[in-house]
Structure 1
Amino acid sequence: MPRLAVTREALIPLFAKSGNVCAFPGCTHELVTSRNLFVGQICHIEAANPGGQRYNINSTDEERRSIANLLLLCYRHHKETDDVGAFDADALRAMKSQHESLHGQKPFKVNEAFLHRLEAEMQTYWSTLQDANERLHVVPELAVKLNTGTRAVDQFAEVTKVVCRLSEILSSFAEADSMLNEEIRSHLGALGYDLTTYDNVQYYLNPFLNRNWEIHALVVNNTFTDLIVVLKQAEVRFLEEFVKTHSNETEAIMRLEAARGELHKMAVSMGYAD
């Protein structure tokens, strides 16, 4: 699977905190020239793809392209930091933290034309991905359709729809299990069996009565509670970062305030089934 393109929302603060110089200690190589040419490199602390330097199998694609995992270096020092023995992930995170603490107080403003060019390159990636999904899928009739045109602020609404569908599916399983005992009893009766012995079995010895009750009532409910809270926290975090670079987008600001209110209610009211 191709690695995800770095978002503009990550690029703006990344460059702003760079001071327009390579993050390698002591290096003064500029990143963007006076002619608005990008002569540095956007580097991943943990590689974006398997086989790359410091690749972390436990990270998600979103984490790999997040600002926390990105570092701006000149070409020379990008190559030098490919030496994983000398520069592990913690070493590069420390380098990034030190550099940004030094230059973050005097933000470097990135030229809009430069950002538009980088953004155009990223858009090319998404367009190519959409085209590949529609025309090049190995089994077109079974392809999971991608909608790469979904706006960033709408992504969590799409996630919520999937969570709701998953909840409906699990509810149907719970209903089926709750009816299992009566369905078996009715079937045996229709076949002419005497149900006296069946009905005399103690409820705690009957494997068909309240089938998987604990899983449905406790495990599933509590797991969904965790999922809903984690997603709401992620939505608030994402929108906080989004509005930093899109301060004129009223809809995003309103969504952030609504999400914050929802998360606050969860913080004081959400609980586990027991």
Structure 2
Amino acid sequence: MAGPSEKTIKRLFAVSGNLCAFPGCSLPIVESVGTITGEICHIRAQNEGGPRFDKAQTDEERNGFGNLVLLCRRHHKIVDAEPNVYSVEALEEIKSIREREMGRPEQATDSFYAKILLSDLRRIEVNNNSGNVVIDSPGAILAKTVNVKMARKTVKVQPAAGTIGADQEASRYIQHLINRYNEFASADKARGAKFSYGAISKNIETNFRAPWRMLAIEEFEGICAYLQQRIGRTRIAKSNASKGIKSFSSFEEYSQTVRG
């Protein structure tokens, strides 16, 4: 079942003023550093058995603008835990109030916030698996949380089509930048704490909200720019720059070298 469209969430974010719709709540939906602190809430539940579910709704109506509201995580849990108190009419009213108070025209940056809110909504946690799990693929299961039992102790997640991990050249270049950063940063003897080679990948995951291999290919340039900036701030890279020496290859240069 298809979820809300990016266009719908972009509009929803604009009229929310980037604030939880619950009365008196001043928590942002997305922090200035990009951390998601809010969620997309279905006024009438998306799935049967959920709070305020209306079987007369079509899938399009369930995921349409009129059936969605942005709430902080705490208030999302509260309104769904007590659907008799927080009725459809009550949620529609608080959404309307917030729109009148904080609504504004859409901005170009709203597309970015719509993407990360949708990514959070579609997040899937796989606890166990005995085969393949396909995410956002035709015919696949779409859910917020999927629990699957299995006998194996390890799970290998294959990046879906359209992700960085599915593009071999893009993956190799990002790994090249990660290796170069680790090489330069680990050589800094002035570092106080013990160097962690895995920290840079964790930093990417924190900043971009997912492991880099699982991110959409559209995020490739942004991740490259982030890694190149981190490399450029190391002592070795600064020394190289003063001598006119490049500290890393561009994607085009690297790809040509790999191709031979």
TM-score, normalised by the number of residues in structure 2: 0.45
Higher helix proportion, which one? 1
TM-score, normalised by the number of residues in structure 1: 0.42
The structure that has the greater radius of gyration is 1
